[in-house]
Amino acid sequence: MAIASENLGSEFDFASENKETLVTKGIKETSEPTKVVEISRSRNAEILGEGIYEGHVRSGVRVGIGRRILNFAEKIFDRYDHEYRSESIDKFLKRIISTHMQLKKIEIPVINTMRIINVPEDENRRLLVTDLTENGRKIVISATTIDVYDSFELSNLVEVNNQLSDIFQKLNLNSVRLGSYDVPFLIIDKETKEGKIILGDLGNVSFKNKENFSQDLLEELNLKGLQKFAEEINKRFLINGELEIKN
């Protein structure tokens, strides 16, 4: 199961030796534990985001499934911090995939696609994910975004605030806890200036039935996390109003 090689004569290579497997068991209703696909990585990939404790996300990943070729991004866990995370990298990945699946079931907006890529034991772990930038047409901002973006206006500020409030209500209703204010992402279309809120960094999301705290504390923590996210966006980027949560 080789990692896709890169052909110097072209940007992408889909040679037969580039077949890899995606873990699908427990992610979709399928009897297949894995799915064999062809994955090719661009030599001109762009870094879409970086995390302090885990790794980075890069663009330029194409997946060949039969005759279809689909564009994705890839999160590479090349700096997974075992002191910050008390669990092994493999256990961590299984947990966030499970969290992703559960959040989709209760209709909390998340990254559309998230799959574990099988790799040899001695290689950095990888996740195949939807490219939220849509090949550069959108920007993705979290409360801890390091990249410097120009200040912006949102053409649908009322709608985005409704999205934020709806997420807050669904988190509380379904006993989901945000463990950090960097979980939400704000995705902005560069042309229309329309924004959308999703939960992007799922490593700091958990469910109350797995932890020992009250519903009141859960709601307090979720409100603080989302308010901190809104404050950072308002302070650093937004110029035509404010993000706010109606509770």
Rank 74-88, 135-149, 204-218, 221-235 by mean pLDDT and report only the highest.
221-235
Residues 112 and 151 in one domain: no
What digits encode the pLDDT tens for the residues 33-73? 566 677 777 777 788 877 766 778 888 888 877 777 888 99
CA distance 198 to 112: 10
Q: pLDDT > 70: what percent of the chain?
A: 79
The 3-state DSSP class for residue 165 equals: helix
Both 159 and 212 in one domain: the answer is: yes
How high is the pLDDT of residue 79? 75
Does residue 5 lie in a domain region?
no
Residue 1 lies in a domain: no
CB 130 within 8 A of CB 73: yes
What's 213's domain CATH number?
1.10.510
In this prediction the pTM is 0.82
Q: In degrees rounded to 5, what are phi and psi of residue 160?
A: -65, -40
* Distance of alpha carbon 207 from alpha carbon 112, whole angstroms: 20
**Taking residues 100-116, what's their average pLDDT?**
94
DSSP string, 205-239: EEEGGGS---HHHHHHHHHHHHHHHHHHHHHHTB-
Each residue of 192-213: pLDDT tens digit? 999 999 999 998 899 877 566 7
Q: How far out from the chain centre does Cα 161 lie? A: 20
Q: Is 131 helix (H, G, I), strand (E, B) or coil?
A: coil
Domain extent, residue 58, equals 16-129
Q: How far apart are CA 5 and CA 46, in angstroms?
A: 17
